[in-house]
Structures are given as structure tokens and as C-alpha cells.
Structure 1
Amino acid sequence: MKMLKKVMVVATLSLSLFGLNSQTDAATTTHLVKSGETYWTIAQKYGLSVNYLKSINNKSSNALYSGQKLVLPRTSITAADKELMARLVSAEAKGEPYAGKVAVATVILNRVDSVEFPNSVKGVVYQNVNGHYAFTPVQNGTINQAADAGSKKAVEEALTLRGKGNGSLYFYNPKTSTSRWVDSREATVWIGKHKFAR
């Protein structure tokens, strides 16, 4: 009986580890380092920050070697993605402090990196579930207005800090929201009028 329990525990752990690895594999890709490349050039190519690139590869040194493989998120962030994010941040966080704008941009990136959401900025921003968009500005059209400079800067800062923070996946303004579903989620931080949660 003890042997059976041990086999069951090992099998369960193996399945758990396999499940975790398949999620990680599905959420990442690799880059083969070429001669002359640096963390900075690779990060720029894929729309990442150097710190994020190093953190997802568990690296603290700046040393890179030709032929080395680096793990990358499944998707990179393009200039068009940054513009779309900035327009959403501008519409969602109008009148909010700068930290709130960064936090809204971070929610978008966290969703892109999460297996629970679409794996692209466009997919996250325009996600539609049962006829309802995830973000009010998409529903009411304010996503189409030009982004302000503060929102563009907030997107760049969120990209620099990608992978850091409290893992927020949701935010809302309790005074204007008609849905309280997000109250069932773990709160991460309050910034201005927005409550953030994961």
C-alpha cells in the first residue's frame, strides 16, 4: 500500500510538472544568439526591456555567447502595439495619476503574458466575450482617439518594468462600474480611482 501511495505521488508530481512546463513552453519561444548581438539589440528587436529579457532567462551577467539560446515571450511588442496600448491607456486612465496609467498598461502586458488571455496586444485590447468588449473604450469608440504624451510614456515605462509588479490582470473604477465581478478577485493595489486585481 505504501508503494502504491509513492507511485501515485510521483505520478501526480510528474503530471503537475508536465502541465507547468507545457504552459511555459506555450507562452515562450527561443532566440539563437548571433555573433555581435547584445541583450540591448535583442531586446530592441523583440520590443522588450533588457531587464525583462534577462529576468525571464535567469541571467544577471551581461555576457552573451554566439549560439546561446534565450527564452522570449511568445509575442513581441511592435510600434503599432505600443500605439494601440497608449490609446487604450489614454482613454481608460484619463484624469488618473501617471502611476495609474503605467498600471493600466501593465495590465495589458500581463494579459498578453497570461495563458488566460489572448497572446497579443491587439487580441487583449479587442477581446470580445459574449458580445462585450473587455475594455469600455473599445465598446464606446474612445479607443480611436489620439493618445496623450503621458500615456505613451506610461506604455514605455510598463514595457521597461514588464514582468515586475503585482501581476494585476484587471482594473475598474468602483464608482462607475456596473459589474462587481472583479471584487471576487484578489486586490493588488488602488491607484487614483482605479482598483487593480489579479
Structure 2
Amino acid sequence: MKKFTKLVIASALSLSLFGFNTNADAEAATHTVKSGDTYWNIGMRYGVSVLELKKVNNKTSNMIYPGQKLVIPQSISAADKELLARLVSAEAKGEPYAGKVAVATVVLNRVDSDLFPNTIKGVIYERSENGSYAFSPVQNGQINQPADAESKKAVEEALTFRGQGKGSLYFYNPAKTNNAFMQSREVTTVIGNHRFAK
């Protein structure tokens, strides 16, 4: 009986170790460069920043070669992408595509900033001192509506572009707000009806 118990324990241990190795391998995804690949289209394919892609592969130039293997950094979760796309869809409805990318970029910039929560969900659901949400679609429930295809694509582009913008942390529609704090911020760009600022 003791031998059987040891055999069961040893088998379970080897299976659990095998499982851990499989997960570790899954995290270290690689991409073999094909003719026509660029850092940009690889980033778009995997939903990762071009800057991070170059960093994890110790690359400083934009040159890549067919056959070269690139380590793909971990992307945000599918749930975070969906949440961000729903926010973009609600916040930038009727705005040009570039404005949708810029709204997603603001959220990512906030995640990367020490001034805001360090997760997408944390940034989107952050409350101000008066208890209201930072983004009106969270306050009015529009965040719960499905995202359109263009907003999903805008999120992928913002992820690929992450870290290369002008550092915008805010956006607002001057026709719809008289918030003195927002209007005091340095405007980085204007797209459609939105002003983006830092």
C-alpha cells in the first residue's frame, strides 16, 4: 500500500511540475519574422507595444530580418482589452478613428503614470474625491454597452503605440465642460471635438 501511495504522490508531483513548465513556456511566446514583417505589424498582431517589443529583444534599430526570432512580451488580458474598447466606444462615439486611439492612449498613459491606478480596470473605475467616476460612461452606464469593431481596433493600435505619444493624461470636450482643472492643463493635441492634455 505504501508503494502505491508513493507512486500516486510521485505521479501527481510530476504532473504538477509538467503543468508549471507548460505555463512558463506559454508566457514566453516567440514570433519568427517573415518577409514584410515590421515591429508595428507584429505589435498589432500580438497587442503589444513596439517599444516593449524592442526592449525585451535588446533592439535599438527598426531592422528585423526574415527567420529572426523575437520574444513577444505579455499583453494585457482579453478582459482588459474588451473593457477598454467599451470605454473608447462610449467616450469617442462619433469621433474620428484617431480620436478613439487617443482616448485608449490616455487610459494606457494613466496606467503607466504614478498619478493613477496601475491597472486598466483601476483607471477606468477610479472615483474622484466627490465620489464620481473619472469617465462619464462609467457614471451613466454606457460602459456596459458592447464595443464596436473600430473601437476594438483602436485599442490594438493604442497598445502598439504605447509609450510613444505626447503623454496625454486627460481629454475633454470644451463644448461640454467648464472644468477649470481640465482647462488649465497643457493641450497636447486636438482631435475632433476632444482636446487631449497632460
TM-score by length of 1: 0.69
Residue 158 (structure 1) aligns with: 158
- 1:48 matched to 2:48? The reply is yes
- 1:90 matched to 2:89? The reply is yes
Q: How many residues align?
A: 159
Alpha carbons of structure 1 residues 188 and 64: separation in structure 2 relative to 1, 3 Å: same
Q: Aligned runs of 1:131-142 on 2, under 5 Å? A: 131-142=131-142
Three-state SS of the structure 2 residue aligned to 1:190 is strand
Displacement, 1:107? 0.3
Q: Does structure 2 retain, via aligned residues, the 8 Å contact 1:89–1:151?
A: yes
Residue 176 (structure 1) aligns with: 176
Alpha carbons of structure 1 residues 196 and 55: separation in structure 2 relative to 1, 3 Å: farther
Displacement, 1:77? 1.1
More strand by share: 1
Q: Does structure 2 retain, via aligned residues, the 8 Å contact 1:47–1:78?
A: no
Q: Aligned runs of 1:108-147 on 2, under 5 Å? A: 108-130=107-129, 131-147=131-147
- 1:190 matched to 2:183? The reply is no
Mind listing any 5+ residue stretches in structure 1 that lack a counterpart? 1-31
Q: Is the radius of gyration larger for structure 1 or structure 2? A: 2
Letter in 1 for 2:142: T
Q: Does structure 1 retain, via aligned residues, the 8 Å contact 2:100–2:154?
A: yes
Q: Does structure 1 retain, via aligned residues, the 8 Å contact 2:49–2:160?
A: yes
Alpha carbons of structure 1 residues 56 and 126: separation in structure 2 relative to 1, 3 Å: farther
Alpha carbons of structure 1 residues 38 and 143: separation in structure 2 relative to 1, 3 Å: same
Mind listing any 5+ residue stretches in structure 2 that lack a counterpart? 1-23, 33-42
Residue 26 (structure 1) aligns with: none
Q: Does structure 2 retain, via aligned residues, the 8 Å contact 1:33–1:64?
A: no
Alpha carbons of structure 1 residues 176 and 47: separation in structure 2 relative to 1, 3 Å: same
Displacement, 1:129? 1.7
Letter in 2 for 1:142: Q
What percentage of residue pairs aligned between the two structures are identical?
63
For residues 179 and 56 of structure 1, what CA distance do their matches in structure 2 show? Answer: 41
Q: Aligned runs of 1:17-96 on 2, under 5 Å? A: 38=30, 48-55=48-55, 59-60=59-60, 76-96=75-95
Displacement, 1:169? 0.5
Cα deviations by residue, 1:166-189 (Å, 9 ceiling, x for unpaired): 110000000011413112111100
Alpha carbons of structure 1 residues 178 and 33: separation in structure 2 relative to 1, 3 Å: same
Three-state SS of the structure 2 residue aligned to 1:99 is helix
For residues 70 and 84 of structure 2, what CA distance do their matches in structure 1 show? Answer: 34
Displacement, 1:65? 10
